[in-house]
Amino acid sequence: MQSSTEDKDARWRVIATDLRAAILDGRYPPGGALPSEPELVRTYDVSRPTVRKAIDTLVSEGLAYVMRGRGSFVRPMPERRAIIITDRDRPDLAAPGNHPDVQEFGWNLALRDHDPDAPLFTGDKITANRDIAAMLNVRPGHPVIHRRSMWHRGHTAVIHGASARLEINSYTNADMLPDWDDPKRHAQYRKRPAFFYQSLIREHGPVRWMTLTSARIAYEDERAALGMDYAEAVLLIRRTMAHPNGHPIEVTEVKAPANRYEIGYHRELADDAEADFTPQELSKSGIDLVI
């Protein structure tokens, strides 16, 4: 029985390996159909469940997709956009005034026709869960200022009709900004793009910056927010503003679909390593975000 089970495992693996190689070699072009289930059953002399397991493997790897009633197809590879890690002035990406729609259209126009159930940005005081507490080196339950911003970027980077999206979350120990609840100050934090960071640095500087990147399979809520398919990986870029001793003040975390974004470094890609990217350079180079 053991050898029979191993043979079945080997058969679906062989099919998946053959199809994967053919896709990567270009024998099946992006958007093109893969052999049908009956064809694969005849070619490899296997059962339909064995063929489906091979196709499911390619789907989980992001190489194929299935359209019910039509068959399996090679997934088109979206145009990759870039996220640049800089060592120059770090923008406050979660600030509403820095949202690309506000930058391009102005405050009123950007918000006029937007879905109220899916706001471009939010800012609330919450209590830290385990993960946020670990980021900020506070206890779970500690008050935290959470600012969230959703960017729809790279409208040419389309897969199945969806433009690439970025989710930006900022977490700050609420003790660092005790005037957050003051209505006048809160309006300034909301409307003035640099005011949040300026206040933190003025009160708690000098500061140092630390940026780490990682990736994992996206959670269900992240897939919905970022327009991702099942089993796609999400890029996580976490930048920490900290005291010189390393104690965190604020953490900005960017989430991006890993198959639509790649990461570069300012000093290696800029024409002048000592100058910020110009808007023209950003557009020309397909850069959606500088962190």
Question: Please, are residues 263 and 58 in contact by the beta-carbon 8 Å criterion?
Answer: no
Tens of pLDDT, residue by residue over 222-234, are: 988 998 876 678 9
**Does the pLDDT value for residue 2 go beyond 80?**
no
Question: Please, are residues 226 and 203 in contact by the beta-carbon 8 Å criterion?
Answer: no
Tens of pLDDT, residue by residue over 237-285, are: 999 999 999 999 999 999 999 888 999 998 888 878 888 887 777 877 7
The larger pLDDT score, comparing residue 68 to residue 90, is at 90
Kind and range of the H or E element at 256?
strand 248-257
Tens of pLDDT, residue by residue over 130-187, are: 999 999 999 999 999 999 999 986 543 333 334 578 999 999 999 999 999 999 999 9
For position 188, what pLDDT does the model report?
92
CA 73 to chain centre: 25
pTM over 0.85: no
> Span 202-230, mean pLDDT?
91
Six token digits for residue 129: 């869960």
- Cα separation, 107 vs 85, in Å, equals 27
**Does the pLDDT value for residue 124 go beyond 90?**
yes
For position 95, what pLDDT does the model report?
95
Residue 214 has, within 13 A of its CA and on its CB side, a CA count of 7
89 pLDDT tier (thresholds 50, 70, 90): confident
Tens of pLDDT, residue by residue over 4-55, are: 555 556 899 999 999 999 988 889 998 899 999 999 999 999 999 999 999 9
Six token digits for residue 184: 């006048």
203 pLDDT tier (thresholds 50, 70, 90): very high
**Does the pLDDT value for residue 3 go beyond 60?**
no
Angle of CA points 91, 287, 60, to nearest 5°: 110
